Amino acid sequence: MTEELQKNLNLVNATLSEAELYEHACHVLNFDQETICPVKAMEEQGEVNAFLSNKAFRLKKAPAFIAGAEYLYAHREEFGEFDRVLAESLHREYQKTKNITPEMDHEFSRIFNRAFVNWLDAKKSADFAKFATSLAEVRNVNFKQIALREDSRPVPYDNLLDVYERGITTGDLDKCFDECKERLIPLLKKISASKKTIRTDFLSRTVTDESQRKMAEYLLQTIGFDFTRGAFTTTEHPFTDGLAKNDVRVTTHYYPDMFYSSMFSIIHEGGHALFEQNQPAENYVHHINGLKTLGEHESVSRFYENRIGRSRGFIHLIYKKTGELFPNVMQGVSEDEFYEAMNLVRPSLIRTEADEFTYTFHIIIRYELEKQIINKNVNINDLPRMWDDKYEEYLGIRPQNAREGILQDVHWASGFGYFPTYALGNMYNAMYYNCMSQDIDVENTISDGRFDVINDWMREHVWKRADRLDSKAWIREITGREFTPDDFLDYIEKKYSAIYGV
C-alpha cells in the first residue's frame, strides 16, 4: 500500500470512528425512546437524537473525508477484501447523499422523529388523521432523497428498495409476488374449505407478564443468545437494535390472552440478535458491520421464528417447559395439538401476529401500496380505504379501525421500502435451509436442542460474509443457485397440505 493510500485510509477510519460514537448515542436514545421514555418527553428526545445524528452526518460531509473516501474508491483494487468493501460502500453512500446538505439531513431526522411520536399517538387513539400529515411529510422526504441522488433509478420506488435491499428491483418483486399469489391463493382456498379442525381453545387462556418474561428468557437461552453481550425488554412494537459489538438489545410485547405472541416475537428478534452477535470482528475494525441488507437480516430472524420455531422438532423441545411456565394454558394440551395450533392458518389483520402461511399476503399488500404511494403519488387520505380494500381482496377480512389496519406498523414513520425484505427473508432462508439439511439432520438437531450445531453452520455459511455481498450474490454464494421463491413455496405447500390434509 502506498503512503498516500495509507494516509487516506487512516483519515477515513478516524472519521468513521468518531461518527460511530454519535451514532451509538443515537441508538441508545432510540432504544430508550421506544421502551421507557415518558410520552411527553418523546418529541424532545427526538430533537436530541436528530442533533447527534446530524453531527455524524456533518463529519462525513467534510471535504477532506469525501476526498479521502473517493480516493479509496479510485484505488479500491489495491485493497484486501474488507477495505475494498468499505471503499465501495462509502462511494455508494456518497452517491445517495452528495447533494444533501447537513441542514437538510437535520430536518429529515426531525421529520422522522416527529412522525414516530405522531404515529404512537394515532395508533393509541385509532385516528389516522393524527398521522396523515406526518406520513405526507415522510413521503416528501423520500421524494427529495430520490431527486437528490446522483445514481437515481428510473423507477422511483427502486431507489427506496436500494436503501434496504441493494440489487433487488420492483421487476424482481413483481415476478416473485405474482408467483406467490398464483400458488398460495388456491391453496389458501383449499385450507379454508378443509374439514380439518385444529384445537384453539387454549390459545386465549391468560398468562402473567412475569411468566412471559421467563419464557422469553428461556427461548433466548435455548437458541444461543449471549446475555453477556445483549439484553431484552418490552416495547409497543418489537424490534432489535445492534448498538455495538458487545451490545445487542431485543424487545418483545406481552399480551395476557395471547401467550404465543411474545414467544415468536422473541425468537424472531433473537434471530436478529444472533446475526449481530456472530459477526466477524474484522467487520467492526473495517467499519462495514452495517452493510447487511434487511432481507439478509430478516431471513435469519424468520429462519429462527418459523423454520425452527414452528417446526415439530422445536415444539418437542419446548413442550415440557411451556407447560411448566404456562400451566393454565397447557393443561390437557398434547404435543401434537400444540404443534398444530402454532401452525394454524387463519387470515388475520395484524402482520406481526400472522401465521406463517398468510404472512406473505401482509407483505404483498404493503408492497403494492408502497409502489402506489411512491410511483403514483396517491392521496395520503385515501390510504386507509385502500389498505382495507386490499385486506378484503387477499384475505377476505376488513379492519374495523385504523389501529388494526394502516396504523399497526411503525415502519412508515421512517420511510418506505422496508416491507418487501420480510418476504424476501422467508425466501432466502428456505434456500439455505435446504443446503443446511444436506449437511445436518436439522429436525433432530433442533429437537435435541443442539443450537451450537445450527449456529456454527449459520456462522460459517450465512453470517460470515453477509456484510460483504449484496443479497443476490450472497444467496448465490451460500446455495450455488440464483434467487428464487420456489424453495419457500414448495416448503409452504408441503407443510400445510400435510397439516390440513389437502
Residues 308, 310, 315, 321: what is their CA dihedral angle, to the nearest 10 degrees? 90
3-class secondary-structure state, position 128: coil
Which residue matches cell numbers 401482509? Answer: 362
On the 0-12 / 13-18 / 19+ scale of CB atoms within 10 A, 136 is middle
- How far apart (Å, rounded) are the C-alpha atoms in residues 234 and 34? 9
Grid coordinates of 442: 436439522
- Is residue 267 within 8 A of residue 219, CB to CB? The reply is yes
Q: How far apart are CA 417 and CA 159, in angstroms?
A: 9
Helices assigned H by DSSP within 34-166: 42-61, 63-74, 81-97, 102-125, 129-148, 156-164
Query: Is there a contact between 107 and 99 (Cβ–Cβ < 8 Å)?
Result: no
* DSSP per-residue codes, 352-389: GG--TTTHHHHHHHHHHHHHHHHHS---GGGHHHHHHH
Q: Are 65 and 11 in contact (CB under 8 A)?
A: yes
Q: Which three cell numbers stand for residue 49?
A: 437524537
Active site residue 23: no
CA-based end-to-end distance of the chain? 64
Q: Which of 23, 34, 269, 356 is flagged as catalytic? A: 269
Grid cell digits, residue 345 = 392458518
Q: Report the alpha-carbon distance of residue 276 to residue 292 in Å, rounded.
A: 10
CA distance 436 to 442: 7
Distance CA 176, CA 315 (A): 31
Residue 244 φ/ψ, nearest 5 degrees: -165, 180
Q: Which cell numbers hold the place of 344?
A: 394454524
Contact 459, 278 (CB under 8 A): yes
Cβ atoms within 10 A of the Cβ of 222, count? 18
Q: Where in the sequence numbering do the catalytic residues fall?
A: 269
